[in-house]
Amino acid sequence: MERADSARNRPVRNYADLNPRYYATGMWSHVLHRISGIAITVFLLLHIWEITSVVRGGAEGFTSKMSDMAAKVWVIGEWLLFLAIVFHGINGIRLILLDLGWGTRTHKRAFWVVFVLSAIIIAFGSYFFLMRFLAYPWSA
């Protein structure tokens, strides 16, 4: 516990190391994982607010809320969420494997595998989002 206590009391916190100019592969993984994670959590809270329209407005309230959401601008939002979730999930699997001690010597190569796998799943899923984007009006 000595180490945890010294981290707690460390007097200087260096924010300058957040400058992307100095990122190596592991730092890109860390920062992208963090940004996508925060974005997904914010979405989750908004999503709960959107779905609980059924508590506030009953069946009609929910159905009208959902038809309001059937607009191109929200499809773009859903697609961005899809990108964040696919990356966060696949990179997260890589992080868990690293925690288990698996692939620590090849973690940089594994980060590129994460990108390729994400790109394949995103390409597959984007077709469905494009269908939805084309079918919906700009504003409901």
CA distance 35 to 69: 25
CA distance 50 to 62: 8
Cβ-contact 29, 112 below 8 angstroms: no
Helix, coil or strand: residue 139: coil
Name the minimum Å distance from CB 21 to other proteins: 20
For residue 34, CA distances in Å to 11, 29, 43, 92 come to 24, 8, 14, 11
Nearer to other proteins, 120 or 131 (CB): 131
Nearer to other proteins, 90 or 111 (CB): 90
Name the minimum Å distance from CB 117 to other proteins: 12
Nearer to other proteins, 23 or 136 (CB): 136
Where do contacts with other proteins occur on this chain (CB under 8 A)? 4, 7-10, 13, 34, 37-38, 40-41, 44-45, 48, 51-52, 54-55, 58-60, 62-63, 66-67, 69-70, 78, 82, 85, 89, 92-93, 96, 99, 125, 128-129, 131-132, 135-136
| Helix (H), strand (E) at residue 117 | helix 107-135
Nearer to other proteins, 27 or 44 (CB): 44
